[in-house]
Amino acid sequence: MIQTFHVYMNYGRDNIALNDVTLEIDRGEFVFLTGPSGAGKTTFLKLIFREEVPSQGQILVNGRNVSAIPEAKIPFLRRNIGVVFQDFKLLPRKTVFENVAFVLRVMGIAKLERKRRAFQILKQVGLHHKMNSYPLQLSGGEQQRVAIARALINEPVLLLADEPTGNLDPELAFEIMSLFQEINARGTTVLVATHDRDLIMRLGKRVILLEKGRVAES
């Protein structure tokens, strides 16, 4: 699903975020990406859905060279990748429903169908009663779950999550992980960046450890 070949990412001359990263994640895998803060976890995720382009090296996602995708096609790549951002990135002036169903709307899906699917996915994260609230009316944990619901609504082939349990208490964190596992069982490849060791231990999945931009363990 994801293959990287000697990927480098520099922000300016002295700021090297990724240093010769070569790795492979198979279709249907569930992988944790871990490492200390500043190790390059977020950068790695950004490269996959092409929020950033690597300074050097190649990245294949679902068989496509991400750097070579023409700009006009990038939205279509992103529609197939669910992303849970560390800072949620919810649209503050849209309701929970509108946020979650945004990608469906962009895809031209009818409102009734959008409602149905949004309700379903929000129910799975336990927020179906807050469809009409605005993000700023929700707690951090709730916003995080909205972000998760948005990432999952289009049944992506790949789910990227950046510290998706950072704002959740352990019980809820575990619930979210169960949800991810469920999604994974249905065929979605899942890549979760986290430094929550407990969570990693509990799930016993493959772990990629990044340290100072290098793959220390895979």
Binding residues vs other proteins (CB under 8 A): 49-51, 71-72, 74-76, 78-79, 83, 85, 89-93, 102-103, 105-108, 110, 150
- The residue length of the chain stands at 218
Q: Is 20 exposed, middle or buried (0-12, 13-18, 19+ CB in 10 A)?
A: middle
Beta carbon of residue 211, minimum distance to other proteins (angstroms, whole number): 27
68 or 106, CB closer to other proteins?
106
Beta carbon of residue 81, minimum distance to other proteins (angstroms, whole number): 8
Beta carbon of residue 71, minimum distance to other proteins (angstroms, whole number): 5
Beta carbon of residue 103, minimum distance to other proteins (angstroms, whole number): 5
- 52-58 contacts, C-beta under 8 A, 24 or more apart: 52/9, 54/7, 54/8, 54/9, 54/18, 55/8, 55/9, 55/10, 56/6, 56/7, 56/8, 57/4, 57/5, 57/6, 57/7, 57/8, 57/20, 57/21, 57/22, 58/4, 58/5, 58/6, 58/7
14 or 71, CB closer to other proteins?
71
CA distances for 30 relative to 47, 74, 80, 157, angstroms: 18, 24, 17, 12
44 or 49, CB closer to other proteins?
49
63 or 92, CB closer to other proteins?
92
67 or 218, CB closer to other proteins?
67
Beta carbon of residue 203, minimum distance to other proteins (angstroms, whole number): 26
